[in-house]
């Protein structure tokens, strides 16, 4: 559409250039002014500037670390990576759960079963219209914090505990032989892909139905299981031990983490459900009718006709929901889960006082994730654009 509006008068060219120069000058002036003021204010409050703090040791503890971190020894840079990994971890888990829940509910909304459709609609309306922060606080303060005290812990089967300090599960300890199982799993995945490609080619070439689902399942599940048995079950479980004041050992899932994952997945699932519903409805009814006219059964119609077309519509909004989830994980700061914002824009900022650098780094991380995702999306859009004949 750009270019539709041409300057109406001749000789407007100079004016247009002038306007842009003026705009650039105003913006530049504002930035320069802000810079002068910032230098002035920083000098007065004796806050150093630059990124030198990155290698200074951070004196604070972090409650959940995926990589080794020790207060007093590890650097602020290390704390940054801990926070970033925690953010990515919670986002990844949230994305998986939200997708599963969201697809279920989105499909349920289109169900011919009145009750199922209504329940799914109720879920979507309820969840979408209540702020995420409120839901997060609810899960954290009203649900998880009201679990029993340590001494009245709920004892789970297999030696786990659940109390208001978190969920304590047996931790798998892998013996060296476990790498064989992972290798078997990788081989299984590879073989399954090859099999699937072969089956599809065969079907396209000869039209003969080539059901390989069972074989793929066997490859994916059976191969690792067989390796596990052959290697003599090289995995042991370290059980959490309840002592008087705390629980030692085992795998500890913080209530902050659990609350964040639950809140993010429940909230985002409502939006994903809408994306899924819109995506399925976007497939023209004639497509389904044509498939039925060709004698395809409803399952096959769904798998071969509706889903491939719906996915193309669904992927861009779905990605933007995933991005929203990742950005929303910054709400962790409200309940004290050590994500990037809490660790970096919280603790590190408070200790160093270097607001400009710390906020800039934090924003740069989210910006990188967003821009990278939209780049991938643009490529995807170009790849899947319908070629008009």
List residues binding another protein (CB under 8 A): 1-9, 16, 19-21, 23-24, 27, 33-34, 37-38, 40-42, 44, 111-116, 119, 125-126, 128-134, 137-138, 141-142, 145-146, 327-328, 330-331, 333-334, 341, 345, 349, 355-356, 359, 362-363, 366-367, 369-371
Cβ 360 to another protein shortest distance, Å: 9
Task: Give the span between the Cα atoms of 60 and 83, in whole angstroms.
Answer: 13
Question: Which residue, 57 or 141, has its beta carbon nearer to another protein?
Answer: 141
The tokens of 220 are what?
Answer: 């994916």
Cβ 282 to another protein shortest distance, Å: 16
Task: Give the span between the Cα atoms of 269 and 266, in whole angstroms.
Answer: 5
CA proximity to 322, closest of 92, 34, 47, 31: 92
Question: Which residue, 74 or 362, has its beta carbon nearer to another protein?
Answer: 362
Cβ 336 to another protein shortest distance, Å: 11
Task: Give the span between the Cα atoms of 227 and 106, in whole angstroms.
Answer: 38
Question: Which residue, 319 or 330, has its beta carbon nearer to another protein?
Answer: 330
Question: Which residue, 252 or 274, has its beta carbon nearer to another protein?
Answer: 274
Task: Give the span between the Cα atoms of 22 and 29, in whole angstroms.
Answer: 10
207 phi/psi in degrees, rounded to 5: 80, -5
Cβ 309 to another protein shortest distance, Å: 23
70 phi/psi in degrees, rounded to 5: -135, 130
Question: Which residue, 124 or 162, has its beta carbon nearer to another protein?
Answer: 124
Question: Which residue, 38 or 194, has its beta carbon nearer to another protein?
Answer: 38
Give Dmax (Cα) for the chain: 86
Cβ 359 to another protein shortest distance, Å: 5
How many Å is the Cα radius of gyration of the chain?
27
Cβ 200 to another protein shortest distance, Å: 29
The tokens of 181 are what?
Answer: 């199982």
C-alpha torsion 135→141→147→149, nearest 10:
160
Question: Which residue, 227 or 261, has its beta carbon nearer to another protein?
Answer: 261
Question: Which residue, 112 or 205, has its beta carbon nearer to another protein?
Answer: 112
| Distance spanning both ends of the chain, measured CA to CA | 24
Instruction: State CA 71 to chain mean position distance.
Output: 28
**Segment holding 154, helix H or strand E:** strand 154-156
- Entry field: residues in the chain: 389
Cβ 250 to another protein shortest distance, Å: 28
Can you spell out the DSSP letters for 133-186? HHHHHIIIIIIITTSPPGGGPEEETTTEEEETTEEEEPEEEE-TTHHHHHHHHH
Cβ 184 to another protein shortest distance, Å: 36
């Amino acid at each position: 559409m750009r270019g539709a509006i041409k300057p109406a008068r001749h000789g407007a060219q100079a004016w247009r250039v002038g306007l842009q120069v003026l705009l650039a000058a105003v913006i530049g002036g504002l930035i320069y002014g802000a810079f002068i003021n910032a230098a002035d204010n920083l000098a007065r409050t004796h806050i150093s500037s630059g990124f030198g703090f990155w290698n200074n040791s951070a004196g604070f503890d972090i409650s959940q670390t995926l990589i080794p971190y020790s207060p007093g020894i590890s650097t602020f840079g290390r704390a940054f990576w801990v926070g970033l990994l925690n953010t990515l971890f919670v986002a990844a888990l949230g994305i998986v759960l939200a997708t599963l829940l969201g697809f279920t509910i989105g499909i349920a909304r289109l169900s011919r079963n009145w009750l199922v459709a209504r329940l799914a609609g109720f879920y979507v309306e309820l969840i979408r219209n209540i702020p995420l922060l409120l839901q997060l606080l609810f899960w954290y303060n009203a649900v998880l914090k009201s679990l029993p005290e340590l001494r009245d812990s709920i004892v789970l089967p297999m030696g786990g505990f659940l109390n208001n300090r978190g969920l304590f599960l047996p931790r798998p300890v892998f013996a060296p032989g476990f790498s064989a199982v992972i290798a078997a799993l990788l081989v299984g995945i590879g073989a399954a892909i090859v099999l699937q490609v072969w089956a599809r080619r065969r079907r396209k070439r000869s039209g003969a139905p080539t059901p390989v689902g069972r074989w793929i399942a066997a490859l994916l599940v059976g191969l690792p299981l067989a390796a596990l048995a052959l290697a003599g079950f090289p995995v042991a479980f370290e059980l959490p031990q309840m002592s008087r004041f705390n629980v030692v050992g085992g795998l500890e899932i913080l209530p902050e983490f659990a609350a964040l994952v639950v809140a993010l997945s429940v909230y985002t699932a409502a939006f994903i459900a809408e994306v899924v519903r819109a995506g399925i409805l976007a497939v023209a009814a004639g497509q389904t009718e044509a498939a039925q006219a060709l004698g395809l059964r409803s399952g096959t119609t769904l798998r071969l006709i509706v889903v491939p077309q719906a996915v193309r519509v669904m992927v861009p909004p779905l990605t933007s929901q995933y991005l929203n989830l990742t950005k929303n994980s910054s709400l962790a700061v409200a309940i004290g889960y050590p994500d990037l914002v809490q660790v970096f824009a919280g603790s590190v900022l408070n200790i160093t006082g270097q607001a400009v650098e710390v906020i800039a780094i934090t924003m740069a991380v989210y910006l990188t994730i967003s821009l990278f995702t939209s780049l991938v999306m643009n490529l995807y859009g170009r790849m899947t654009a319908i070629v008009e004949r």
